[in-house]
Copies of this chain bind each other. A is one copy, B any other.
Amino acid sequence: MKRYEQFAEEITHLIKSGVLQTGQKLPSVRHASKVYKISPSTVFKAYYLLEDRGLIFAREKSGYFVRPLLQDTLPEPDIKDIEVVTTEVSVSDLIFSVMDVIRNNEAVLFCAFYPSTDLFPMARLQRSMNHALTDFKSRHHNYIADMTTGNVDLRRQIVLRYMLNNVNLSMDEVIITNGVMEALNLCLQAVTKPGDLVAIESPAFYAILQILERLKLKAVEIPTHPRKGIDLEALEKALQKLPIKTCCLMTNFQNPTGATISDEDKEQLYHILNKYQTPTVIDDVYHELYFDETPPKLLKSFDKHGLIMHCGSFSKSLAPGYRVGYVAAGRYAEKVNRLKLMSTLSTSVPAQAAIANYLQYGGYDRHLRKLRHVLACSQASMLSAIVKYFPKNIAVTKPKGGYFLWVELDKNIDSLQLYKIALANGICIAPGAIFSASQGFNNCIRLNYGQAWSDKLELAIQKLGNLIKSFK
């Protein structure tokens, strides 16, 4: 056994015996080299080997960390072989009862739609807000201009970030919105009229269902694999057969499953959409929260014809509550912008300016690296806890980004019932039924791990596991 293999074995032992725990940082190369009296290149080789074996993972500029050991003992949920039907959407009552709980409850919030605000640079954002408001005192004219066109600096920063993802936009194509919710509403309204058909994923983010309901649109639910994303064949068939006016999809770290469409499949997806000339709304709010070394591709990067309306937001990655979203709306930009002027006129000017200032000077990329690391560790911890405390006949996703796990329970379990019982026990989960117009997925739950892991959360997963086990 070579020295680096030997060193790798030692580390493996430390991990398996629980000395090095999930999410914990390994010694730096320099440090390990000194302590173990081996050359830095030997340490490197050992770490590469451990990475290959899936025991540790690297974070850019942060070093190596222990991957969760146990997650692979649970299977992942499979795609549901659902029938593609057209459904009038009316799930609001159910969704609102869940939302009411979120806002009024002190329960452990596995059902929250945001990561914990602890994970965001609120103090640094406050400084940016202050800079921005001071700046406005000398530029009154801009103040009104920001109201109608959207803050120019903010749009420039957004265009620059798109550029890094291989998407070149003009600034006019970017419209600032009141969070991604407004972006999705405007985009869907721009290309539909009441009664029209919209292809969505199944399961889908419940807000998309709410928007369809509000705009009186009909859902065509396309089977979606919990890891690989929407079934392209089923989608193409639906586009062929039905007068679908638009698709509304999440291509990266989909909510609720965490599914990400591979780069190759994205190219094919674009090919299909282009073939049927289907304008498509992409909700991509989790794109920056990837755990791999590089971000997944944007569907928009294949879009040469302005067919894709790509929606994003700073609510999940930087500033929940500021309500600053945006859309790169391609050939529909003018229409979307007009609808925006007719519905809310403008996004809060101070919030726009604060975020523009933060993006320029606040250290957004540094913050994102930290955030991704916390989320990756919390995911690992939650997966470990689930393996430990949940019954064995479940399946769970292991998304490569975002902050949601999708858990498929025994098919006899009614997640709405579980949701109520858990709530009575101080735990809030999102029941699967709110993620589908046809109310499938009732034996599934979505769990939010968007907070630093703690004993309190570990205990809550234990309690939840016991509740599931006791469920008949």
A210-B342 contact given A103-B145, A133-B122, A322-B348, CB 8 Å threshold: yes
Which of B92, B118, B341, B346 is the one whose CB lies under 8 Å from A140? B118
| Closest Cβ–Cβ distance, residue A89 to chain B (whole Å) | 11
What residue of chain B has the Cβ atom nearest to residue A114's Cβ? B144
CB pair A338–B92 under 8 Å, yes or no, is yes
Question: Is the beta-carbon distance between B144 and A117 smaller than 8 angstroms?
Answer: yes
> In the complex, what residues of B have CB within 8 A of residue A1's CB?
none
Q: Does A49 contact B (CB under 8 A)?
A: no
Q: Is the CB of A129 within 8 A of B122?
A: no
Question: Which residues of chain B have C-beta atoms less than 8 A from A339's C-beta?
Answer: 214
Interface residues of A in 427-454 (CB under 8 A from B): none
Partner of A112, one of B123, B144, B216: B144
**Interface flag for A350 (CB, 8 Å):** yes
Whether A333 sits at the interface, judged by CB under 8 Å, is no
Nearest CB on B from A88, distance (A): 14
In the assembled complex, A200 has its CB within 8 A of some CB on chain B: no
Instruction: Contact check, B338 vs A96: say whether CB atoms are below 8 A apart.
Output: yes
Q: Tell whether, in the assembled complex, residue A347 and residue B348 are in contact, meaning their CB atoms are under 8 Å apart.
A: yes
**8 A Cβ contacts from A111-150 to B:** 112, 114, 116-118, 122-123, 125-126, 129-130, 133-134, 136-137, 140-141, 143-149
Chain B's closest residue to A194 (CB) is B194
Contact indicator B117/A143 (Cβ below 8 Å): yes
Indicate if the CB atoms of A342 and B214 lie closer than 8 Å: yes
Digitize A81-115: 1 where CB-to-B-CB distance is under 8 Å, 0 elsewhere. Answer: 00000000000100010010011101000001010
Complex contacts, A249 vs chain B, CB 8 Å: none
Contacts of A104 in B (CB 8 A): 145
CB distance from A91 to the nearest CB of B (A): 11
Query: Chain B residues with Cβ under 8 A from A216's Cβ?
Result: 193-194
Size bin of chain A's contact surface: 35 or more
Interface residue A343 (Cβ < 8 Å from any Cβ of B): yes
Cβ of A320 within 8 Å of any chain B Cβ, yes or no, is yes
Of B194, B320, B349, the contact of A143 (CB 8 Å cutoff)? B320
At the interface, yes or no: A160 with Cβ under 8 Å from chain B? no
| A311-351 interface with B by 8 A CB criterion | 320-324, 338-339, 341-351
Does A178 have its Cβ within 8 Å of any Cβ on chain B?
yes
Partner of A149, one of B103, B214, B324, B354: B103
Closest chain B residue to A125, Cβ basis: B133
A346 nearest CB neighbor, chain B only:
B323
CB neighbours (8 Å) of A134 from chain B are: 126
A211 touching B344 in the complex, CB below 8 Å, given contacts A130-B126, A144-B117, A322-B349 = no
Give the CA-CA distance A284 to B342 in the complex, in Å: 18
Task: Say which residue of B114, B147, B321, B338 sits within 8 Å of A348 (CB atoms).
Answer: B321
A100 to chain B, nearest CB (A): 8
Given A144-B103, A323-B347, verify A341-B133 contact (CB < 8 Å): no
- State the Cβ distance, A70 to closest chain B Cβ, in Å: 31
Distance between Cα atoms of A466 and B210 in the complex (Å): 55
The reply to whether A346 and B117 form a contact with Cβ atoms under 8 Å apart is no
Which residues in B have their C-beta under 8 angstroms from that of A103? 144-145, 147-149
Q: Mark A153-185, 1 if CB is under 8 A from B, else 0.
A: 000000000000000000000000011011001
Whether A129 and B350, one on each chain, are in contact in the complex, defined by CB atoms closer than 8 angstroms, is: yes
Min CB distance A179 to B, Å, is 6
Asked whether, in the complex, the Cβ of B140 is within 8 Å of the Cβ of A345, the reply is no
Some 26 contacts from A to B, beta carbons below 8 A apart, are: A96-B338, A102-B148, A103-B144, A118-B140, A122-B133, A126-B134, A129-B350, A178-B178, A178-B348, A179-B345, A181-B343, A181-B344, A181-B345, A182-B343, A185-B342, A210-B342, A214-B342, A321-B349, A321-B350, A322-B350, A323-B345, A323-B346, A324-B348, A343-B343, A347-B348, A351-B351
Q: A103-B147, A129-B130 are in contact. List 18 more A-B contacts (CB 8 A).
A: A96-B341, A102-B148, A112-B144, A117-B144, A126-B130, A129-B350, A147-B323, A178-B348, A182-B344, A189-B214, A207-B342, A211-B343, A321-B348, A322-B348, A323-B346, A348-B348, A350-B354, A351-B351
Q: Which 7 A-B pairs have the closest CB atoms?
A: A321-B349, A348-B348, A178-B344, A103-B148, A126-B133, A210-B342, A348-B351
